[in-house]
Chains A and B, each alone.
Chain A
Amino acid sequence: MPGTRQNPHFRRILVGYDGSVQAEKAVDVAISLAESLDSTILVFAVARPPEPATSVELEAVLDDAREHYEQGLKGVKQKAQQHDVKLETDIAVGHPGEQIIHRAETDKIDLVILGRRGKSMFEKLIMGSTSARVLRYAHCPVMVVT
């Protein structure tokens, strides 16, 4: 029910977006919540540079990531329009977990919604989990959509 704020706690919702099926699910959950709570959504994607960055490769990775996210974010905006939900998008560069935590803090976000990527044990061991890091350090509630 747009226009009737039922829960004052979740005025601004940040959705971590990486173009995956799980991220799309997270967006759907956020839209559904925003529709009933009259919240504003920030769909936030993070392009991760290779390390150590090398000059031409860095630009190539960032360009590809921006293009990939912009394509996906178009669909997300359309979904939001269909549900009459206020939605902003942004793309940052860096470590996804840290950028999400930082943005949630600076933008005074009330709820972070993430999709669970379902990485293999190997990837979890080596890379760590974005959602685990956000759960641990975010200043606000975090919802992980499976």
Chain B
Amino acid sequence: MENVWALAAMWVGLALLATLFAIWFRISTALTEIILGTVAQAVLVVLVGGGGLVAKTGWITFLAGVGAVILTFLAGAELDPLVFRTKWKEATAVGLVGFFGPFLGCTAVAHYILHWSVRSSWLAGVALSTTSVAVVYAVMLELGFNQTEFGKAILAACFINDLGTVIALGLIFSPFTLRTLIFVAVSVAVFILLPFVTPKFFRRYGGRVSEIEAKYLLFVLFAMGGLAVWAGSEAVLPAYVIGMVLAGTVGKDHTLVRRLRTLTFGLLTPFYFIRAGSFVSVPALISAPLVFVALFFAKMISKVTGLFPTVRIFKYQHEEGLYYTLMMSTGLTFGTISSLFGLNHGIIDQTQYSFLVATVIGSAVVPTMIANAFFMPRHLLPRKEQKPVAFPQTTASTAK
């Protein structure tokens, strides 16, 4: 499609529809955008033919890429540095096990059972190694565990888990040349300097209509992303770490974070998630559903096998079951970013990509459903049903 405005209208129209579905069904917009991207691509190819959503168009690829980078930055900026400082031992141990369990387990299943190539199998391991910080955090808020020592440690562990994923994605497939060394050295210097330079810069020039804070952050993210790509790595690696190192400063600037969210959700992430969904091949998924089943159970079993003994070492025993379940959730953002990275760099083909994204979605949705079905009601609903009590002269109904 050569008409840029018509193509943009089609994509934003899909984003609008995805948002309406998210509102109606109370599910995350990311999920509806991925699914709608898959469905729209399949329908357009059948009805119109050609490239369907033409998701490989340059400007769409750019907007989607910026969406992934800013989303990753904002995800990193949600870290609570204070909690991490006090709980770093538990967080690091649980987070690393939470990462390495599914990373190694899913890699092994992809290679030895599904007979994927070595590089494809490593990528499967990376894509399925994440833990959704948001799923864990949402349930913690519901149950009030976010204030407990155990809850705080687990939350910090989720960040370490995702950091492991991002580092693995950035370095495993890197060619390891002089460029890689330069990238790592510059990154370390920038990560150390940013928390000191940024607040000073914002105090000196910030708070103006010209939105210099947003421009500053975009410059840093794009520059480090450019350096990462130059070194054969991935732009989201520095973005996530920059988010983490600025969590105590920029992350606390509520107004700035809200402006970035508006930009991200209003324009950028729809392009990212719809594009990610458009590459999923429905016929491939239908033709071999057992591949999905194998990857899904590889993720679940390897995650809980690693976490079970680790959490017991730290003598947390009461709420374990809930958190094992929740930590099995795959984050849609990092799961799809890893899969898309593999597809773009020829590490996996479209069929493998389809299975990975389907597993990412499945492992985001199923643990949430399990948590809702088994943990929420049991905790919140009254343990004993009580007999009705008669109240005189009231219009109120009594409990059954």
Contacts and interface: CB of A to CB of B under 8 A. Distances in A.
A127 interface: yes
Given A50-B29, A51-B368, A142 B24 contact: no
Given A101-B380, A123-B24, A127-B26, A55 B400 contact: no
* Residue picked from A63, A102, A127, most chain B C-beta under 10 Å: A102
* Residue picked from A52, A57, A135, A140, most chain B C-beta under 10 Å: A52
* Residue picked from A53, A139, A143, most chain B C-beta under 10 Å: A53
Contacts of A98: 142, 376-377, 380-381
Contacts of A15: none
Interface string B313-339: 000000000000000010111000000
A52 B365 contact: yes
Interface string A51-77: 111111111101100000000000000
B132 A52 contact: yes
Interface in B1-52: 22, 24-31
Given A54-B332, A93-B142, A139 B382 contact: yes
B22 A50 contact: yes
Interface stretch (B101-109, B133-141, B275-283, B351-359): B133-141
B399 A138 contact: yes
A83 interface: no
A144 B399 CA distance: 12
B132 A56 contact: no
B381 A57 contact: no
Contact of A55 (B24, B142, B333): B333
Interface residues of A, number: 39
B265 interface: yes
Contact of B71 (A50, A56, A102): A56
A99 interface: yes
Contact of A58 (B134, B329, B376): B134
B12 to A, nearest CB: 18
Contacts of A124: none
Interface in B63-82: 71, 74-75, 78
A137 B399 contact: yes
Interface residues of B, number: 51
* Residue picked from A55, A62, A94, most chain B C-beta under 10 Å: A55
A99 B142 CA distance: 8
Interface stretch (B110-118, B121-129, B230-238, B388-396): B388-396
Contacts of B386: 139
A142 B265 contact: no
A126 B376 CA distance: 19
A140 B382 CA distance: 11
B336 to A, nearest CB: 10
A138 B380 CA distance: 11
Contact of B364 (A49, A52, A56, A92): A52
B148 interface: no
A2 interface: no
B397 interface: yes
A46 to B, nearest CB: 9
A64 B22 CA distance: 16
A111 interface: yes
Contacts of B398: 141-142
Contacts of A136: 399-400
A111 B396 contact: yes
A95 B369 CA distance: 13
Contacts of A140: 399
B119 interface: no
A9 interface: yes
A136 B399 CA distance: 6
B132 A54 contact: yes
Contacts of A135: 397, 399-400
Contact of B30 (A54, A92, A137, A139): A54
B399 A52 contact: no
A48 interface: yes
* Residue picked from B132, B379, B396, B400, most chain A C-beta under 10 Å: B396
Interface in B208-246: none
A90 interface: no
Interface string A103-146: 00100000100000000000100110000000111111111100
The 5 lowest CB-CB distance pairs between A and B, nearest first, are: A94-B142, A53-B134, A93-B141, A53-B138, A143-B396
12 contacts: A49-B142, A53-B137, A54-B28, A55-B333, A58-B134, A58-B138, A93-B142, A95-B142, A95-B376, A141-B399, A143-B394, A144-B397
Interface of A: 9, 48-60, 62-63, 92-95, 98-99, 101-102, 105, 111, 123, 126-127, 135-144
Given A52-B134, A52-B364, A55-B78, 19 more contacts: A50-B27, A51-B368, A52-B27, A52-B31, A52-B365, A54-B132, A54-B134, A54-B333, A55-B132, A57-B28, A57-B30, A58-B137, A62-B141, A95-B376, A98-B142, A101-B382, A102-B380, A139-B382, A141-B399
